[in-house]
């Protein structure tokens, strides 16, 4: 049974992939969550790479170190690079979670981290 809860919404008009994850995420969970996100991105067809992605992890528990390392390796993997968004924003509610998300910037320095979902959306969708 999958512990984390996820919701992925593809907003084609704004070329926005909106991912919400809550619960506890193990390294194995991170692997299948990543695949689900990549499947959603691929539905954009020719819009892949022109899109932006919002990860709302405000409902996520503190992740174990191996989970963060797994996500970081997925962001850095060369096969995933063609699916990269123009911009990536992560919304998190806690200071500890924010520190964990900062570690993802080692794989992708252009990730922005926010406390507020609307602020993250404004940044993503700005010119």
Instruction: Please name every residue paired with 22 in a beta bridge, in sequence order, or none if there are none.
Output: 5, 59
Q: Give the pLDDT mean for 20-29.
A: 92
User: Has residue 11 got a pLDDT over 60?
Assistant: yes
pLDDT score for 1: 41
Q: Phi/psi of residue 5, each to 5°?
A: -110, 135
Q: How many structural domains does the chain have?
A: 1
What residue numbers bound the domain in which 120 lies? 5-125
CA-CA-CA-CA torsion sign (100, 104, 110, 112): negative
Q: Phi/psi of residue 111, each to 5°?
A: -75, 135
CB burial string 15-39: b at 16+ within 10 A, e below:
bbbbbbbbeebebebbbebbeebee
User: Has residue 3 got a pLDDT over 80?
Assistant: no
pTM of the full structure = 0.92
CATH number of the domain where residue 17 is located: 3.30.750.24
Position with higher pLDDT, 2 vs 12: 12
Closest CA to 87 of 126, 33, 117: 126
pLDDT score for 2: 54
- The string of pLDDT tens digits covering residues 62-119 is 888 999 999 999 988 888 888 889 999 999 988 989 999 999 999 888 899 999 999 9
Q: Give the pLDDT mean for 29-47.
A: 94
Tell me the C-alpha distance between 95 and 72, whole Å: 19
Question: Tokens for 81?
Answer: 């690079």
How does the average pLDDT of the chain come out, rounded?
Answer: 92
């Amino acid at each position: 049974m999958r512990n984390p809860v996820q919701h992925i919404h593809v907003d084609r008009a704004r070329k926005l992939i909106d991912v919400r994850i809550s619960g506890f995420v193990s390294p194995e969970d991170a692997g299948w969550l990543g695949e689900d996100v990549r499947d959603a991105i691929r539905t954009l067809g020719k819009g892949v790479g022109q899109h932006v992605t919002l990860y709302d992890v405000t409902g996520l528990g503190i992740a174990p170190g191996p989970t963060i390392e797994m996500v970081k390796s997925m962001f850095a993997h060369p096969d995933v690079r063609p699916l990269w968004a123009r911009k990536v924003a992560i919304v998190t509610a806690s200071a500890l979670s924010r520190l964990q998300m900062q570690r993802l910037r080692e794989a992708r320095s252009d990730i922005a981290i926010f406390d507020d979902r609307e602020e993250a959306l404004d940044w993503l969708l700005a010119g």
